[in-house]
Amino acid sequence: MDFSYTVEQRQICGLMEECCERYLNDGVYADDESGTFRRDKWSRLAGTGLLGLPFPAAYGGAEQGMLTTALAIRSLARRCQDEGLVFSVCAQMSAAQVPLWVYGSEEQQAGYLAPLIDGRFIGSSVITEAGAGSDSSAMTTSVEKEPEGYILNGIKTFATLAPESDILLVYGKHAGGLPMLDVSAFILEARQQEYEIGQVFEKMGLRTSPMSEVLLNHTRIPAHRLLGRERQGMGIFFKAMLWERIIVSAYHVGAMEQQYEQTYQYAGQRKQFGQAIRSFEGVYDKLVQMRIRLETSTLMLYKVCEDFDQGRCGMHSASMLKLHTSESKVQNSLAAVQIWGAYGYVKESPPEKQMRDSLASKLYSGTSEMQKKIMLEGLGEGYE
Q: Catalytic residues, which ones?
A: 244
What is the C-alpha to C-alpha distance for residues 61 and 93, in angstroms, rounded to an integer? 12
- Within 10 angstroms of residue 144's Cβ, the number of other Cβ atoms is 14
Sorted by sequence, the CB contacts under 8 Å of residue 44 that are 6+ apart come out as 19, 23, 24
What is the C-alpha to C-alpha distance for residues 143 and 171, in angstroms, rounded to an integer? 9
Listing DSSP states for 155-175 in one string gives EEEEEETGGG-SEEEEEEEES
29 φ, ψ to 5°?
-70, -35
251 φ, ψ to 5°?
-60, -45
Helix (H) or strand (E) holding 83: helix 83-92
Classify residue 64 by its DSSP letter: -
Asked if residues 119 and 46 have their Cβ atoms less than 8 Å apart, the reply is yes
Looking only at Cα atoms, what is the longest distance across the chain?
80
Q: Are strands 226-227 and 275-276 parallel, antiparallel or unpaired?
A: unpaired
- Alpha-carbon dihedral sign for residues 350, 331, 308, 310: positive
239 φ, ψ to 5°?
-60, -45
